[in-house]
Chain A
Amino acid sequence: MKIYGVALLAGCFLIGKFTGYALGMFINIEGDIGGVGFAMIYLITINSFMKKKGLLKKETRRGILFWGTMYIPIVIAMSATQNVKAAWAGGWIALLVGIVVVLLIFLFVPIISKIGNKKEPIKL
């Protein structure tokens, strides 16, 4: 059932958030420190474990995948509810940072591609 997947996702999410807040308390920062990242790690780990054991049913998976596909619409809603008026004043920083970062990173591609390249397509 799809709800099993949603519940599994919710479990990973909450434990991840808990880890984030606990880490925050540990290093004396009030707030969630990387909770989403931890939650993702938990989900990836459980996912690959259950896949190996053949425990992950298709419908369960679908319950999680649905929420994954909702992330783009949610980001759009998030963008529409930001303080854009205030950001406009400093908007050129966004343009500058975005372009500079991308141009510099393009230079890294051939350098890092040299690591371990056996010239044969990697099997996925």
Chain B
Amino acid sequence: MLEILENIIDKNGLIFAFLCVGFLMLFSFWISKHILKNYIPSVAIAIIIALGLAFFGSKNGLGNVKVFAGLSLLGGSMFRDFAVVATAMNADIAKIKAAGFAGSISLIVGVSFSFSVGALLSFLFGYTDIVSITTIGAGACTYIVGPITGYALGATSEVIAISIATGVVKTIFVTIMTPLLAKGIGLNNPHSAIVFGGLMGTTSGVAAGLAATDVKLVPYGAMAATFYTGLGCLLCPSFFYLIIDYFLK
């Protein structure tokens, strides 16, 4: 019996991966809603659990465990890049124009500043190679920009995992802090919500944080944040990489 099951999973790894991730998300959604009362977004919880499960494997995380090998295909660069590009469908040039000058400025400042802080801190704490510094700096943008930059530049899996973890910490912290700080930073109208989304960039964190502050602000912040990942993916492995390269040579 068990042999047949193993054989089926072996031959249909990707399909089994869909099932596993689906279950994990269902579980995380339940924890987020019923135990944490939506204080932390379910996506963040799912990612934390996934990173935790990766401990059971070695170099490729859970992908090294035979039955879960399909996760490596689902989470590989081909599917990931394809899905990220598809998210651009929700962005609309006309809408970003409405967000105006402040929205664009916030996007540029948000990506550049996050990257700089991430790169600087990683350098101060012992990372000296250009690829690792750029990857961790990109991770300070979002947990998507980090690994995309890392894979593009050929960073080690260890550094890519750190960059993902950085992005996840950012998402969680944005979610927790937004409702607490909203009043103090004047985050109570669509204009500042667009600026906020453009500066922070993490769509799930921004959406969850704004939902906890004022549900009406969510689409404004999330819309601006949609552009952030694209801008980050464009700038980090190219322009920012060259800047780091210039400074370290």
Contacts and interface: CB of A to CB of B under 8 A. Distances in A.
Interface of A: 9-10, 12-13, 16-17, 20, 23, 27, 29, 31-41, 43-45, 47-48, 51, 61, 64-68, 70-88, 90-91, 93-110, 112-113, 115-119, 121-124
A21 to B, nearest CB: 10
Nearest to B158: A86
Interface in B211-249: 219-220, 223, 229-238, 241-242
Interface string B154-178: 1011111111111111101110010
Interface in B1-27: 17-18, 21-22, 24-25
B158 A73 contact: no
| Chain A binding surface, main DSSP class | helix
Contacts of B241: 29, 33
A28 to B, nearest CB: 10
Dominant secondary structure at the B interface: helix
Contacts of A37: 230-235
A97 B46 CA distance: 21
B169 A97 contact: yes
Q: Which 9 A-B pairs have the closest CB atoms?
A: A98-B169, A37-B234, A77-B75, A78-B75, A87-B161, A94-B165, A83-B157, A67-B86, A71-B83
B38 interface: no
A31 B152 CA distance: 6
Contact of B162 (A71, A94, A115, A117): A94
Contacts of B236: 34
A13 B79 CA distance: 11
Tell which of A27, A72, A118 has the most Cβ of chain B within 10 Å.
Answer: A72
Given A36-B148, A97-B169, A117-B191, A87 B60 contact: no
A25 B18 CA distance: 36
| Listed residue (A10, A31, A36) with the most chain B CB atoms within 10 angstroms of its CB | A36
Contacts of B173: 98-99, 102
A34 B235 contact: yes
Contact of A76 (B21, B58, B85, B166): B21
- Count chain A CB atoms within 10 A of each CB in B52, B60, B102 and give the residue with the most: B102
Contacts of B40: none
Given A87-B161, A98-B169, A109-B195, A93 B86 contact: no
B161 A36 contact: no
A9 B85 contact: yes
A7 B29 CA distance: 32
Contacts of B140: 97-98, 101
Nearest to B95: A124
Interface string B107-123: 00110011001100110
B219 A124 contact: yes
Contact of B220 (A67, A71, A112, A124): A124
Contacts of B53: 80
Given A87-B165, A93-B121, A112-B105, A105 B80 contact: no
